Amino acid sequence: MFSGRIGLWLGVALVSIAAGGARPEEVATSHPYCPLTDGASLTYISRSTRQPIRLVEWTVWFSHPTGKRATATMRGRAAVFNRSVTEVNALLVEPQGIFLAPTNATEGLSRRPYLPSPEIMTPGHVWSYRGMKPLALDAVLFGLTRQAVTAQVEGHYRAVGYEGVTVPAGTFEALKVRGIETVYFYRKEQRISYVVRLEQWYVRGLGKVKEIWEFPDQPQLGQLVAELTAFQGLQPEQVITLSSEGDRKEK
């Protein structure tokens, strides 16, 4: 279940967004922070600040044939573990936001939120989520879990505001989101739990360009830093360039 609070951090207007409810659109439209463009792709690289050898690369490919449901294929590889992971999800656009549904799951099952609605993802807004959520691909490849699993998550998030961010794919004006999540899952019948502090940067017309995971209860893990290295078939709305005088300009 998503729940969002509209206004400042201590605002009084409350919007609740249920994960169920309205029937998902069979033909997904789009989302400003997750364009569903047929043939588009985003490529990322993740590094551990404490263990540089733990480097993960992965790509997300979007497929959205005319008149059909959009899907996202995520494929990544961690060379140090000689391990690769592939996941395919349908992308369902609802008024509440975008939901993921594994393409091999029974219709209506295993749906979990991916992004809240554009109205929530604006500076000053706050939202929460409690329910099932897939562990990030780089977390799987880094060895936090041995296989792709869906974990129980309780998270609280705030859209902080817009700021410039530089990643290998370019320099952009991005919406910064901060959050904290408590994650639970089972490994060999053992209950695993940890807390994650998140910082995420989203660019309109492109999607997520950077994410930082920090583990306050496990400082030996350091941070996991994921950055966008390349993209195809997408047109970011807010690209920052530098003039000869060093001033920032937006395209």
The enclosing domain of 75 has a CATH number of 2.40.360.20
In the prediction, which pLDDT does 208 show? 93
Q: How far is CA 70 from CA 27, 120, 147, 232, in A?
A: 7, 22, 25, 17
Is 196 inside a domain boundary? yes
Is 221 inside a domain boundary? yes
Is 248 inside a domain boundary? no
Domain span at residue 93 reads: 2-7+27-242
Read off the pLDDT of each residue in 131-147 and give the average, rounded to a whole number: 58
d(CA 232, CA 227): 15
Is 80 inside a domain boundary? yes
Tens of pLDDT, residues 191-236: 778 888 999 999 999 999 999 999 888 787 788 899 999 999 999 9
Specify the number of domains making up the chain: 1
The pLDDT-based confidence of 39 (bands split at 50, 70, 90) is very high
Is 226 inside a domain boundary? yes
The pLDDT-based confidence of 17 (bands split at 50, 70, 90) is very low
Cβ atoms 21, 101 nearer than 8 A: no
Which tops the pLDDT comparison, 147 or 18? Answer: 147
